[in-house]
Chain A
Amino acid sequence: DVKVTQSSRYLVKRTGEKVFLECVQDMDHENMFWYRQDPGLGLRLIYFSYDVKMKEKGDIPEGYSVSREKKERFSLILESASTNQTSMYLCASSLLTLRTGGPRTEAFFGQGTRLTVV
């Protein structure tokens, strides 16, 4: 079974702190994603990566950065945490999507990190 592991289930940080959220997957997936989940807004994509050292902005990248130094690990960084970044953060991974035909693969999710910034 695919396993996506996020380093913390719950995290409390102070405003202005630099925060690292870590995610590791064990199935050699090319694609990795960071989403945040807020009531009434569903899941919004922050950043994703389709290869080591590659990254692309999602819908809401402001205030965040990411790092992918190894294929299995994708880190989300809050450079200076603010209270409006209090949220549930979900990491996901998936196989490379084929360009023409073939199976389209779903994403597999970690258990989530509930971050509170005070």
Chain B
Amino acid sequence: GNSVTQMEGPVTLSEEAFLTINCTYTATGYPSLFWYVQYPGEGLQLLLKATKADDKGSNKGFEATYRKETTSFHLEKGSVQVSDSAVYFCALLGGGSARQLTFGSGTQLTVLP
């Protein structure tokens, strides 16, 4: 079946540091890949997505590239801000007629001023 393995947290960085959160997946067919973000006390919001190999999703300075050869979708940001403190979830939607997302375990990011 489908699965997502996400970098263990928590991650603590200073403001303006470089961020990488690793995500690898196992899936049948040709999945779509997503990063969601959850701010304290809120539900999940879509951060970015990529629907085919070599696609790069980007939003709010975050980027992730769909790498089929390494089955990875690592999240990166060049310079984090305090407001980026949140939990980040990698997810996939399996190929074919799949309807439900499969999520990683989430990575807590704390950015210190």
Contact = CB atoms under 8 A, between A and B. Distances in A.
A59 B30 CA distance: 22
Given A31-B99, A112-B43, A104 B105 contact: no
Interface in A30-86: 31, 33, 35, 40-43, 45, 48, 50, 58
A110 B43 CA distance: 6
Interface string B80-104: 0000000001000100111111011
Contact of A106 (B34, B97, B106): B34
B58 to A, nearest CB: 15
B69 interface: no
Contacts of B104: 42
B12 interface: no
A8 interface: no
Nearest to A110: B43
Interface in B7-34: 32, 34
Given A42-B89, A90-B44, A106 B49 contact: yes
Given A109-B44, A112-B43, A99 B105 contact: no
Given A42-B89, A104-B32, A109 B96 contact: no
Interface of A: 4, 31, 33, 35, 40-43, 45, 48, 50, 58, 90, 92, 94, 96-97, 99, 103-104, 106-112
27 contacts: A4-B43, A31-B99, A33-B100, A40-B105, A41-B105, A42-B6, A42-B89, A42-B104, A43-B44, A43-B103, A45-B100, A48-B100, A50-B99, A90-B43, A90-B44, A97-B93, A97-B98, A99-B96, A99-B97, A106-B49, A106-B93, A106-B101, A109-B36, A109-B43, A110-B43, A111-B43, A112-B42
Interface of B: 6, 32, 34, 36, 42-46, 49, 51, 89, 93, 96-101, 103-106
